[in-house]
């Protein structure tokens, strides 16, 4: 599925409480509509001091509600009708005062009233705090946040950074795209809830001299999509990434490395602390036996000095050979140029792992889509061409179905 329609068919109530961060809600409404959602904006009286209902109506394409006494609902029960239609309620920004209202169960305005009246079973409540850093840190605010979480709300953020008052610290509302992705994640099946997943991604870079090295065309996009999908599925995720320029998926712990040896050194202490290991990284098979201390210069002879290469450690096989008590359930990736099934099945046996995910490297490196072939002891199963995030989500479901049950 295209990222542009990941919220297709979802009806979202976007609530705005008072705060300068209301300006971000305008872009958030646009992002949700772009993602396929229908968006019903509900504003508090304080929010209307920062942004107009006309603006939010233009961006959402629907009339904005501001009062519990709004006569547009035939039965006079806007708080019931609006909440029953919603697949989720997202309050962004959520001020300190509004969070206090939620914590105390107060319902003096339409937005707090519909939050209280919504079906907790079918309509999740997401809250994106936005306030001054001292207000966020105040014990009363922290108590209120803890209370709404205990009552079932999901708190998104806040972020750290520059604030409208000129101070710097915790309290910034997350950006529109971050909130969009958090909302998308809410609707993903939690097939790995509570599990821990270790992932490698990207290429490695093996230095020849201070400015040159051996690497490959891997962009890391598939591995980062796997990390995001695992986090969306409810897992605690650690991502060991080679040299790529990709943002870290929200909720994912990232460790950056350069070489294959550094990747192995990062993975080995992490492996026993994780239940699943997914080796998506395109690790260089070889490295120079000795990297030059200075840049190797051309000498005009037209010849290149012989470069002695050593085989790099096999990270997947090393983890797969760990003692049973320290060994996660291993998934390997195989990027081949031909004879995909034969090479993938050979790798399955040689590495001693339960699942290999194979693809044709030249057809996927750097692209946003892919085709995957799952190879295990039972046979082969193709995941047809799709964007990499969709494939990663399908892969999480396949892994979850294969994982052994936890000991009771």
Which residue ranges make up each domain of the chain?
3-186, 196-402
Local structure of 295: helix, strand or coil: coil
Per residue in 174-224, pLDDT (tens digit) is 999 999 999 999 999 999 999 999 999 999 998 888 888 888 888 899 999
- Local confidence band at 306 (pLDDT 50, 70, 90 cut-offs): confident
pLDDT on residue 364: 63
pLDDT on residue 1: 40
CATH architecture of 3-186: 3-Layer(aba) Sandwich (3.40)
Per residue in 218-240, pLDDT (tens digit) is 889 999 999 999 999 999 999 99
> What backbone phi and psi angles, to 5 degrees, belong to 234?
100, 5
Summarize the confidence of residues 368-373 as an average pLDDT: 84
Cα separation, 52 vs 43, in Å, equals 9
pLDDT on residue 3: 47
Higher pLDDT, 192 or 306: 192
**What is the percent of the chain where pLDDT is above 90?**
65
- Local confidence band at 291 (pLDDT 50, 70, 90 cut-offs): confident
Summarize the confidence of residues 359-364 as an average pLDDT: 65
Per residue in 35-69, pLDDT (tens digit) is 999 999 999 999 999 999 999 999 999 999 998 87
Local structure of 36: helix, strand or coil: coil
> What backbone phi and psi angles, to 5 degrees, belong to 291?
-80, 135
Summarize the confidence of residues 146-174 as an average pLDDT: 91
Determine contact, residues 17/101, Cβ cutoff 8 Å: no
Would the pTM of this model clear 0.85, i.e. be above it?
yes
Region 196-402: CATH code: 3.40.50.10300
As annotated, the active-site residues are: 165
The per-residue b/e assignment along 341-358, b for 16 or more CB within 10 angstroms, e otherwise, is eebbbebbeebebbbbbb
**What is the percent of the chain where pLDDT is above 70?**
94
Bridge partners of residue 286, in order along the sequence: 311
Per residue in 309-361, pLDDT (tens digit) is 888 999 999 999 999 999 999 999 987 667 778 888 888 888 889 999 988 66
Same fold, 3-186 and 196-402: yes
> How many Cα atoms within 13 Å fall on the side-chain side of residue 347?
23
């Amino acid at each position: 599925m295209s990222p542009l329609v990941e919220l297709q068919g979802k009806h979202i109530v976007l609530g705005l409480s008072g705060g300068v961060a209301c300006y971000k809600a305008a872009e958030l409404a646009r992002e949700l509509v772009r993602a396929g959602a229908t968006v019903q904006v509900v504003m508090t009286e304080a929010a209307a001091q920062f942004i107009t209902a006309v603006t939010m109506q233009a961006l959402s394409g629907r009339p904005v509600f501001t009062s519990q006494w709004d006569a547009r609902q035939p039965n006079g029960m806007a708080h019931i009708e609006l909440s029953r239609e919603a697949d989720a309620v997202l309050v962004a920004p959520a001020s300190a005062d509004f969070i206090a209202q939620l914590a105390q169960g107060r319902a003096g305005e339409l937005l707090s009233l519909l939050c209280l009246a919504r079906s907790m079973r079918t309509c999740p409540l997401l809250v994106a705090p936005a306030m001054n850093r001292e207000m966020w840190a105040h014990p009363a605010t922290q108590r209120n946040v803890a209370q709404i979480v205990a009552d079932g709300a999901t708190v998104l953020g806040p972020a750290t950074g520059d604030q409208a008052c000129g101070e710097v610290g915790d309290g910034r509302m997350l950006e529109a795209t971050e909130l969009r992705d958090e909302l998308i994640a809410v609707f993903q099946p939690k097939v790995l809830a509570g599990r821990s997943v270790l992932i490698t991604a990207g290429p490695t870079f093996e230095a020849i001299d201070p400015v040159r090295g051996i690497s490959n065309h891997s962009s890391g996009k598939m591995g980062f999509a796997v990390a995001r999908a695992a986090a969306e599925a409810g897992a605690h995720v650690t991502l060991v990434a080679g040299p790529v320029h990709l943002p870290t998926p929200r909720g994912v712990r990232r460790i950056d490395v350069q070489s294959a040896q550094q990747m192995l050194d990062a993975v080995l202490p992490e492996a026993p602390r994780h239940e699943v290991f997914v080796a998506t990284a395109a690790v260089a098979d070889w490295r120079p036996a000795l990297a030059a201390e200075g840049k190797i210069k051309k000498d005009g002879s037209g010849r290149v000095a012989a470069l002695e290469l050593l085989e790099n450690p096999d990270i997947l096989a090393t983890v797969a050979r760990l003692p049973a008590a320290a060994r996660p359930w291993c998934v390997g990736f195989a990027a081949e140029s031909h004879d995909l099934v034969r090479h993938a099945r050979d790798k399955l046996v040689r590495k001693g792992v339960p699942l290999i995910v194979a693809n044709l490297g030249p057809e996927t490196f750097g692209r946003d889509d892919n085709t995957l072939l799952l190879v295990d002891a039972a046979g082969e199963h193709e995941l047809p061409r799709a964007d990499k995030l969709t494939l990663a989500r399908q892969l999480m479901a396949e892994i979850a179905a294969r994982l052994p049950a936890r000991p009771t």
